[in-house]
Amino acid sequence: MVQDRTIEGTRRQGMSLAAGIGAGAVAAVGSMGIQLATGVHIASLPEVAWSAFVAGIAGGLLYWVLAHVVRRPIPALWG
């Protein structure tokens, strides 16, 4: 029974991290596209892409931590 929990916990961590990586990649491409489309450059494109990507990974890890701490992690993440 303990082994099942370990596998399930690892799977959830992997899913949260994968979701964060996916969200970060989408945000990176989207933010670069907006900068190219509008011609407004707040920062260089690689800086924008990496910051969005890292923020997505951090968000995935934060969700995983919140899922272990609170019963409803999505409203906590929005807060």
What SS3 class is residue 38? helix
Report the predicted TM-score, pTM, of the whole model to 2 decimal places: 0.65
Query: Which residues, 6+ apart, have CB-to-CB distance to 37 below 8 Å?
Result: none
Task: Please state, in angstroms and as integers, the Cα–Cα distance from residue 58 to each residue in 7, 67, 74, 79, following that order.
Answer: 22, 14, 15, 15
What number is the average pLDDT over the span 1-27?
68
Output the furthest CA–CA distance in the chain (Å, rounded).
Answer: 56
Residue 25 has pLDDT above 60, yes or no: yes
